[in-house]
Chains A and B, each alone.
Chain A
Amino acid sequence: MSYVPDYYEFFCPVKIVSGIDALPCLIHELDQLGAKKPLIVTDQGVVGAGLIEKVKAVFEGTDREIGGIYDKTPPDSSDKICNEVARMYRDLGCDCLLAVGGGSSIDTAKGVNIVITEDTDDLLQFQGAERVKKDMEPFIVIPTTAGTGSEVTSAAVIANVEKGVKMSFTSYKILPDVALLDPKMTLTMPPKITAATGMDALTHSIEAYYCLQKNPVSDSFSITAIKLIMDNLIKCVENGKDAAARLYMANAALLAGVSFSNSLVGVVHGLAHAAGGVAHVPHGIANAIFLPYGIEYNIGKVGDIIAELAPLMGVTDSSGVAEQDAKAVADAVRDLNRKLNSMTGMPITLKDAGVDKGLLEKIAKTAINDGTIIMNPEEVTYEDALELLKKAY
């Protein structure tokens, strides 16, 4: 069914540099941005995997230099860390941010860019939508996972340590200038993380396709992302050194990121954010667990739209009835989850993920206050969220 909403907006100005040996293009991209001395924002896992050494090697024999490396980014970044990194950036005379890592390093760099550009140490005042007005410092991202899509999203989530809250920032200004995808930066990702981050990307693309902000441009990104994921995720898990499959998955995550940055997501992400905040379930795993339930939950409202995804999800024999085809999409996600579970041990229930059943009520209460809930086609009350959590347990 063709669908163009009465009104929509779409924005993605990020230059994409993708391919085998894309990494050496970094120097040229810095030149294009007028930058010579980047500060690298990364984490210990990325350093331990030897990926920063690969970035350093690119600078050999050039007149460019790495201004500094912040390698202590935790899984959940905070305003204090952003302020610390911004101080480092100023003290070292850097002129560009280079995030090398997953969602947390990229979000931290986005927060640092706000701190530097707005000359503030109080990120709280920029919380919300479209509050950043100034043009940012040059910003390049090299993702080392294929899932978050944060390299092309206009959002960042950063904790406020003092107030104990997670702050969301949405602004077209915080988008990176360049996303550089090189499969050599994801080859070392372990199978379980490959599976979970891949399911994160699949969730982005599927939810973006059926949630309320969907539009024809985001739809096209979602469709391509789903195809790439269904063709390559298992290959990457089976053989992490398959550079071609890794490149496809890196592109899938990016495309899904473009899609959901412009179309947003729904109850699956609402529950996953809450399960992450309350019970520390990794985001990709939580998305994988909730995705089939979230799809089924919305069939009554957008079953015809979900059914369009059936062929992409490997459903070969369409029933011709939208509701049944939409249910088959949910079942296809369950099949994929089971396969990934048997290959990597990725949990596919909340119980397997180590969630205490006593936390379900708290997760439900948190979930209904997640900003994604408003974009879900079906209403989500506390009772609805709790019921979904019980099913996923």
Chain B
Amino acid sequence: MEAKAAAKAVYQGKRALVSTALLALGVAFELISKSDPKIMEEVSDFKDGFVLCLGVLPAGPEIYVLKEGGRLKYLGKKERAADLKILFKNMDAAVKLLIGLMPAHTAFAQHRAIVHGSLYDAMQANRAMAVVQKYLFPSLMLNYLFKRPAKFTGRELMIKAMIYATLTPFLAINAMK
């Protein structure tokens, strides 16, 4: 019984971690889309009203991000229709990718993440997610996460600093969505 309770506690801990990481990702999508046009270039083929879902199988958590008016907007965690879903097969896979222990290309190569929807759209979403990771993770980690080392312009470094400074209050504002 104790082992079962411990396993449950570990799972709940991972779920809380993933939930928070997904919230940070969703909020970062919104913040970065206001600052760096690169992310909007990556999703330029998404029509206005396009909804992207990132989540964990079989029962969440998941987040929804909307493209609207040339920006990305974090919609929250409540289930809704999505044009594209990128789903981790289990909580462990989600933990590894979301805290930077596994590159996205490895997650796909190892079948740990799957796509529901168009692969064409998924590739754009993946590159947009790479833009977000570039700002969220420390530069040293990016060498492991990306196939090619990330380079930063002066402006991008300023955006990175701004994201670090503003992410926490934005997380608080959006936590209940």
Q: Footprint of B on A, CB under 8 Å? A: 5-9, 127-131, 165-168, 212-213, 264, 301, 368-371, 373-375, 377-379
**Contact, CB under 8 Å: A128 / B116:** yes
CB proximity of B165 to chain A, nearest CB, Å:
30
**Contact, CB under 8 Å: A370 / B120:** yes
Interface size for chain B: under 10, 10 to 19, 20 to 34, or 35 or more residues?
A: 20 to 34
Kindly list chain B residues whose C-beta atoms are within 8 Å of the C-beta of A368: 123, 127
Q: Which residue on B lies nearest to A157, using beta carbons? A: B119
CA distance A378 to B147 in the complex (A): 6
**Contact, CB under 8 Å: A379 / B148:** yes
**Contact, CB under 8 Å: A379 / B109:** no
Q: Which residue on A lies nearest to B123, using beta carbons? A: A369
**Contact, CB under 8 Å: A130 / B114:** yes
Among A6, A9, A374, A377, the one with the most B-chain Cβ atoms within 10 Å of its Cβ is A374
**Contact, CB under 8 Å: B122 / A212:** no
With A127-B118, A374-B105 already in contact, 5 other A-B pairs whose C-beta atoms are closer than 8 Å: A5-B110, A165-B120, A213-B109, A369-B123, A377-B147
The contact sample of 19 A-B pairs, CB cut-off 8 A, is A5-B109, A7-B110, A9-B110, A9-B111, A128-B116, A165-B118, A167-B118, A168-B119, A212-B106, A213-B110, A301-B147, A368-B127, A371-B115, A371-B120, A371-B123, A373-B123, A374-B123, A375-B109, A377-B147
- Within B116-163, the residues touching A (CB, 8 Å) are 116-120, 122-124, 126-127, 146-148
CB proximity of A219 to chain B, nearest CB, Å:
14
CB proximity of A110 to chain B, nearest CB, Å:
16
CA distance A130 to B85 in the complex (A): 12
Q: Which residue on A lies nearest to B121, using beta carbons? A: A369
Kindly list chain A residues whose C-beta atoms are within 8 Å of the C-beta of B110: 5-9, 213
Q: Which residue on A lies nearest to B127, using beta carbons? A: A368
The verdict on B11 contacting chain A, using a C-beta distance below 8 Å, is: no
**Contact, CB under 8 Å: A370 / B123:** yes
Given contacts A368-B123, A379-B146, A379-B147, contact A374 B108 (CB under 8 A): yes
CA distance A213 to B106 in the complex (A): 8
Q: Which residue on A lies nearest to B120, using beta carbons? A: A369
Kindly list chain B residues whose C-beta atoms are within 8 Å of the C-beta of A371: 115, 119-120, 122-123
CB proximity of B157 to chain A, nearest CB, Å:
21
Kindly list chain A residues whose C-beta atoms are within 8 Å of the C-beta of B116: 127-129, 131
Kindly list chain B residues whose C-beta atoms are within 8 Å of the C-beta of A8: 110
Among B120, B122, B146, the one with the most A-chain Cβ atoms within 10 Å of its Cβ is B120
Kindly list chain B residues whose C-beta atoms are within 8 Å of the C-beta of A373: 123
Kindly list chain A residues whose C-beta atoms are within 8 Å of the C-beta of B108: 374-375
**Contact, CB under 8 Å: A370 / B109:** no
Q: Which residue on A lies nearest to B106, using beta carbons? A: A212
**Contact, CB under 8 Å: B126 / A128:** no
Given contacts A130-B114, A378-B147, contact A370 B119 (CB under 8 A): yes
CA distance A187 to B103 in the complex (A): 46
CA distance A132 to B85 in the complex (A): 15
Kindly list chain B residues whose C-beta atoms are within 8 Å of the C-beta of A7: 110, 112
Kindly list chain A residues whose C-beta atoms are within 8 Å of the C-beta of B106: 212
**Contact, CB under 8 Å: B105 / A375:** yes
Kindly list chain A residues whose C-beta atoms are within 8 Å of the C-beta of B114: 128-130
Given contacts A6-B110, A7-B110, A374-B105, contact A128 B148 (CB under 8 A): no
Q: Which residue on B lies nearest to A126, using beta carbons? A: B116
For B94-110 the 0/1 string (1 means CB < 8 A from A) is 00000000001110111
Which 6 A-B residue pairs are closest in the complex by CB-CB distance? A371-B119, A379-B147, A129-B114, A379-B148, A212-B109, A128-B116
Kindly list chain A residues whose C-beta atoms are within 8 Å of the C-beta of B120: 165-166, 369-371
Among B114, B118, B127, the one with the most A-chain Cβ atoms within 10 Å of its Cβ is B118
CB proximity of A154 to chain B, nearest CB, Å:
12
Among A9, A128, A168, A212, the one with the most B-chain Cβ atoms within 10 Å of its Cβ is A128
**Contact, CB under 8 Å: A129 / B105:** no
CA distance A9 to B119 in the complex (A): 20
CB proximity of A379 to chain B, nearest CB, Å:
4
CA distance A322 to B123 in the complex (A): 31
CB proximity of B177 to chain A, nearest CB, Å:
26
Kindly list chain B residues whose C-beta atoms are within 8 Å of the C-beta of A301: 147
Given contacts A373-B123, A374-B123, A374-B126, contact A128 B115 (CB under 8 A): yes
Kindly list chain B residues whose C-beta atoms are within 8 Å of the C-beta of A369: 45, 120, 123-124
